[in-house]
Amino acid sequence: PQRALHRVVAAHLWVMSMAVSRASSCCVLPRLITAQPRPRRLHTNNHVRRDFGLGRKTTKPTLTLRAAASTSSQMGAGGPIAGAVVVADTARVASSGAEIPLLGLGTWKLPKADTAALVCAAITRGWRHIDCACDYGNEAEVGAGIRAALDAGVCTREELWVTSKLWNTYHAPEHVRAACAKSLEDLGLQYLDLYHVHFPISLKYVPFEQRYPPEWVHDPAGPNPVMVYAPVPIAQTWGAMEALVDEGLVKHIGVCNFGVSLLTDLMASARIPPAVLQIESHPYLCQDFLVQWAQQHGVHVTCFSPLGSASYVEMGWTKPTEGAIHEGCVQEAAAAHGATPGQVLLRWGTQRGCSLIPKTSRPERLEENIGIFAKENTFTLSAAEMAAISALDRNKRYNDPAEFCKGMGGPCPIYN
């Protein structure tokens, strides 16, 4: 199965490269791996995968990167040209001192058929932060992309930051470890850099063999397909999350979609406080007070949907013409700095001290997005430009279970 996944990765890298080569004169993606400096020394060791109690142990040879030279960046219009590697700046996680890359690849809604190749291409281009989740249904494909990049000697596992998330149906303490182990197994990893509680919503347990990922509705085939809640206190879930850190399965634990009241209550009893808070944030939903509160209390903030509405058009939750990317102040800043409007929005987010996880299924966007960290293209928004973009705030939330859960027995207004 692993070799088959590698063949899939290679095939999709070729297809994606053809799209890029037709769109521009840049080098095609299959050359990206060969364009990397060859490691000076590789050695093979027999690595025993832990089965985490889910299956038998397997032994397979792996390649470990001993040393590699760096690659300098070259710039073209709107970003680095092919052959250049740009690695994102990092922020320090207060609870551990670890460095989290400020730009991560979001994998929500990535088509399974394209995921492995896109992840491999992203890592090859310098992306070192990958954001995953059980609920996204593509962790096995993400893992295949990671493994292809590691096997090619692009980087080491220790240079990556991989995040996953505990789904709502696994909040009971007896299910937390198994859920984490399932994500690790699918990703083909020994540990996660960060494991989040995905939502402050506890739903009735669904066994892996019954349905995985279980999604929101408890019984989709039933006469009344709705969510079924489970009364699990978040403190109990968190205790099981802390045990994952103790065991070495995860390095950090965090929460998504929490507000100050939930964070305050959690931190009052937590033995290991949340290291990271992941929230929706973009110019239409700045959430400045929440961001400031978290940062003041030593919790790093990661923002999903940092470009705003683009991810929600295909779901019918917004219109193609809506979005901060079209705003005059964003367009003006892009023209002033020789950047794209998307790069301006990403720079606005990172200047707030947040890490961002934009999602794209287009290889050329990988280069555009990470291009904000290329030395030849570095720019800083002025205080006036930052203020103008922040003034676009209209408390517009796109990903809200108060809205999308209405047809599933909701609403579920966790932000009220």
Annotated catalytic residues are: 136
Calculate ∠ Cα 255-258-385, nearest 5°: 100
Widest CA span of the chain, in angstroms? 62
For residues 178 and 170, is the Cβ–Cβ distance under 8 A? Answer: yes
Which residues fall within 8 angstroms of residue 62, CB to CB, at 6 or more apart? 44, 45, 47, 150, 151
- Report how far apart, in Å, the C-alpha atoms of 327 and of each of 190, 283, 321, 357 are: 44, 10, 10, 21
Which tokens hold the place of 250?
Answer: 């995860």
For residues 156 and 188, is the Cβ–Cβ distance under 8 A? Answer: no
Q: Which residue in this structure is represented by tokens 């979001």?
A: 106
For residues 203 and 168, is the Cβ–Cβ distance under 8 A? Answer: yes
Nearest to 120 by CA among 132, 108, 105, 134: 105
Nearest to 138 by CA among 103, 165, 113, 166: 113
Which tokens hold the place of 411?
Answer: 């609403």
Distance CA 111, CA 324 (A): 25
Nearest to 184 by CA among 195, 173, 199: 195
- 35 φ/ψ angles, rounded to the nearest 5 degrees: -75, -15
Which tokens hold the place of 144?
Answer: 């295949």
For residues 324 and 70, is the Cβ–Cβ distance under 8 A? Answer: no
- 259 φ/ψ angles, rounded to the nearest 5 degrees: -105, 180
For 56-111, give the DSSP string: --EEEEEEEEEE-------EETTEEPTT------EEE-TTT--EEESB-EE-TT--
Which tokens hold the place of 383?
Answer: 């205080």
Cα-only R_g, the chain: 21
For residues 66 and 40, is the Cβ–Cβ distance under 8 A? Answer: yes
For residues 275 and 299, is the Cβ–Cβ distance under 8 A? Answer: yes
